[in-house]
Amino acid sequence: MQLKGKVAIVTGAGQGIGKAIALDLASNGAVVLVVDLDYKLAQETCALIGNSSDSLQVDIANLDDVQKMLDICVQKFGQIDILVNNAGVTRFVDIMGVTLEDWDLMHSVNARGTFFAMQFAAKRMIDGKVKGNIINIASIAGKGYSGSSNAAYAASKGAVIAMTTIAAQQLGRYGIRVNVVCPGTTQTALLDRIVDSIAESQGVKPEIVSNSRSSIIPTGRNSTPEDIAYMVTFLAGPGALNITGQAINVDGGLMTH
């Protein structure tokens, strides 16, 4: 119960990594506002947590929605201690196939939405004199991993890593820590769709693609959503009080920087 008394917002928490993060933060004592574009999925995650949580439908690319998310959190729970910017979008496409619509969507959610959620939350933390935690979810794609789903996605996640570093430097004087977790290949429904897309384009079975991808991971397995969640909970907790501005890989050793 290392996070007892803390209030957390987790975006994109209806499924996959975000759902695992919300559940793990709650299991460690945090009150969680479960946020997702798909309200039904957010409600389902919230139901698994129980009475100490609430759910909210938010389009992270809509800044009015983001502001409303912070307003509701403070009105309902009194403060915001932890923000986990997990919401993100991608698609599997070659560099020559990325469209302007792809670029704008990925950057509006992955980069712009993350930045302003971070800024709005930091203002609430500063106004409330809360020594808060902001944890962004990027990807090893943002560090140049060649197996990224597409170049636009990699660029948006690289932006998240850069803004995390600067935010940590400028918010540290308020007692606010900012870190970023960079997952590698993670076993989610999104990964299943990407594997299916690759398999279809190559005319092979999805199992062949999946085994090929996991065989290059030093630990021999994909990460699970829980692997990412455990790192987030650690960064939010008392064991990480002097850790800020870090981009931490959870990828089984795929990247060495």
How far apart CA 119 and CA 41 sit, in angstroms, is 26
Inter-residue contact 215 to 161 (CB < 8 Å): no
Q: Is the dihedral of CA 184, 188, 193, 199 positive or negative?
A: positive
* Selected catalytic residue, list 39, 145, 153, 230: 153
153 is catalytic: yes
How far apart CA 148 and CA 163 sit, in angstroms, is 20
188: Cβ contacts below 8 Å, ≥ 6 apart: 15, 16, 17, 225
Q: Any alpha helices (H) in the chain, and if so which ranges?
A: 16-27, 39-49, 63-77, 100-106, 114-127, 151-171, 189-202, 206-215, 225-236
The secondary element (H helix, E strand) that includes residue 205 is none
Which amino acids are annotated catalytic?
Answer: 153
